[in-house]
Amino acid sequence: MASRTLVGTCGYSYEDWRGVLYPQDLPKAEFLPFYAASFPFVELDFSWYGMPRSAVLKRMVAATPGGFQFAIKAHRSLSHDRGADWRERAREFALAIEPLAEAGRLTSVLIQLPYSFKRGEAERRHLGALCDALSAFPLAVEFRNDEWHREAVYAELDRRGACLVLVDRPELPRLPPETATVTGDLGYIRFHGRNAAAWWKGDAGTRYDYLYSDQELQGCLPLVKAVQKKAEVLVVAFNNHPGGGAIVNARSMALLLGS
């Protein structure tokens, strides 16, 4: 059974969370400590759009309680927009996130790979090299393509001590299957919502615009509890951020799990 189950959200700095989590007049600079008073964990996603800076992450550590935990998403130059200089970018990223690791606040670096990242030879080589480049940190890998979901991949992730990220998503062809597979010591489940109509055509706003019903969350409990039994620590992150859906559902899931 997981020694800790951390339920939180993907990101925290959304203006449309005013009135759902944040008071309307709360300065944005106070969002993180306010969030950390309600949740034990957050996944930092801004680091995918822009390379993080160590000074910023130090301030985030200082602004949150000692037990509060972070995951941080790998920069897009390492996963989506790979160039010839990706190794230098990986070194830059690793240096930037050291404050989280040194403070004992880093659950994992999230390597989220796009649907277009197929299981070809070049892709396998890149993922192995990327995991090597970031091996100083706990790693969590999310595949968006079902080609990667096979025992050989799970075994290799486990050999490296890396976490397979599990996803709740729309029922669409070629997306990752539902599985309670745990690799490494960490369990990581990301709830993306089930907005099938916008999954392929939408942007980050419309694709994740979804509110899970209480019945849907209840239906997810067997999977979540199965992962709890296998992982040392379980992270549950809601990515359905538009309109504060992630806040509503994270609160409900925490109550259901008693965490």
State pLDDT tens for residues 108-144: 999 999 999 999 999 999 999 999 999 999 999 999 9
Q: What is the DSSP letter of 136?
A: T
Q: The pTM is what?
A: 0.97
Question: With contact defined as beta carbons under 8 Å apart, do 72 and 106 qualify?
Answer: yes
What are 152's two structure tokens? Answer: 């050989």
Rg, the chain, Cα only: 17
Q: Does pLDDT of 223 surpass 80?
A: yes
Residue 148 per-residue DSSP state: G
Burial 100-130 (b: 16+ CB within 10 A, else e): bbebebbbbbbbbbeeebebeeebeebbeeb
Q: Which pLDDT does position 36 carry in this prediction? A: 98
Q: Tell me the pLDDT band of 161, cut-offs 50, 70 and 90.
A: very high
Domain 4-257 carries which CATH code?
3.20.20.410
Spatial separation of the C-alpha atoms in residues 244 and 258, rounded to whole Å: 21
- Model confidence at 214: pLDDT above 90: yes
Identify the pLDDT of residue 210: 97
| Sequence-separated (6 or more) residues with CB below 8 Å from residue 143 | 113, 117, 149, 165, 176
Beta bridge partners of 109: 72, 139
Q: Name the pLDDT band for 259 (thresholds 50, 70, 90).
A: confident
